[in-house]
Structure 1
Amino acid sequence: MTKPFWETKTLEEMTEQEWEALCDGCGKCCLHKFIDDDSVENAVTTDTIKPEEKVHYTNIVCDLLNTKTCSCTQYMERTRLVPDCVKLTKENLKDIFFMPTSCSYRRLYEGRGLPSWHPLLNAGRKSAMHKKGMSVRGKTVFEHQVDMEHFEDYIALWPLEDLD
């Protein structure tokens, strides 16, 4: 039996189609995040993180996210419509600290393999992921519903969960 591509290829060797298929579609990358060095007053947006800093996830999502399917409604245009939307690429994968530990790209980059709930291991369906609570479904508020001056009131710990 032939092994699946994610077990035989490095992330760098994957085709664009294989790369896109790795996304589990959880929607956690659409959560607003901030970096904090122990005080909300010092929170900043950045492309790097220092050892004394920590990434905080909120339950605030981008307005483009369909929170039922956990898919971007404007996927092909997302980086144009939302300039700070991060497009994960083979080139920026080394700076993946901002992705939760359950992220399939991060898991493969760290040598941990795909989780049992990943759609590629479940006939392409997201139902196992939703059932395990690994997606944003039912856990979020849209950014237009929130006073972003008080984003610290929306800090969430659940994105950090990483099953198997």
Structure 2
Amino acid sequence: MPLQGKDAHDAATSAQQDAAAASAPETEEAPFWKRLTLEEMSPAQWESLCDGCARCCLNKLEDWDTGEIVWTAIACELLDEDSCRCRDYPNRHDFVPDCIPLDPKTVRTLTWLPPTCGYRLIAEGHDLYWWHPLVSGDPETVHEAGISTSGRTISESDIPVEEYEDYIVAWPGELPEPEKPKG
């Protein structure tokens, strides 16, 4: 069961510290995301797979005829556009009933999860990217690498639903190739 609020933050921080320690000397065992399945992860490990990009918090539109899903630059009203975190994570379903809780089964069925998503990457047998906080040890690298939605969104509370089509964007579903900083 995923943790929420301060518990999720504390758990993610603890998991990041564990990951940093696990990746240091070669005599240590591999980081948890390389040796455990999604189902085997603890709640703290599960929560720490979220890199904080907030791409999943963008509104999407589905073509009723074709089933095609497209992204918009319109963010959930609860998204803090600077930190790319939910303003009320523990109670988000009270305010946003269509917010989809992620679990191992759901992650494997949602075709719209971004290609950078830690949950999706691990479910598909891939490693996390260098900007992921579990790899970098720094929650800011997801922003520094330009992966997060920071500075690229508008709140859904500012846009009438009839105008959502005017905000269709492709970048959330694309895999960028930011260069890892040298040094």
TM-score calculated relative to the size of structure 2: 0.77
Runs (4+) of structure 1 moved beyond 2 Å?
A: none
Q: Deviations over 1:56-100 (max 9, x none)?
A: 000000111111110001011112221000111123222121211
Deviation string for 1:9-45 (max 9, x for gaps)? 0011111111001000111111001222xxxxx37xx
Within 5 A, what are the aligned runs for 1:1-20? Answer: 1-20=28-47
Partner of residue 29, structure 1? 56
DSSP 3-state at the match of 2:111: helix
RMSD of aligned alpha carbons: 1.4
User: Which residue of 134, 150, 156 corresponds with 1:120?
Assistant: 134
1:96: which partner in 2? 110
Amino-acid identity (%): 39
Which position in structure 2 is the counterpart of 1:133? 146
Matched, 1:150 2:171: no
Q: CA deviation at 1:160?
A: 1.7
SS of residue in 2 equivalent to 1:60: strand
Which secondary structure does the structure 2 equivalent of 1:80 belong to? Answer: helix
The whole-number CA distance in structure 2 between the counterparts of 1:10 and 1:141 is 35
Instruction: Assess if the C-alpha contact under 8 Å between 2:112 and 2:173 holds in 1.
Output: no
Gaps of 5+ in 2: 1-27, 178-183
How many residues align? The count is 150
Q: Distance in 2 between matches of 1:61 and 1:148?
A: 12
Which whole-Å CA distance do the structure 2 matches of 1:162 and 1:71 have between them? 21
What TM-score, normalized to structure 1?
Answer: 0.86
Q: Counterparts of 1:8 and 1:88 in 2: how far apart (Å)? A: 20
| Structure with the larger helix share | 2
Preserved contact between residue 134 and residue 161 of structure 1 (Cα < 8 Å):
no
Query: Deviation of residue 111 (structure 1)?
Result: 1.2
Identify unmatched segments of 5+ residues in structure 1: 37-41, 44-51
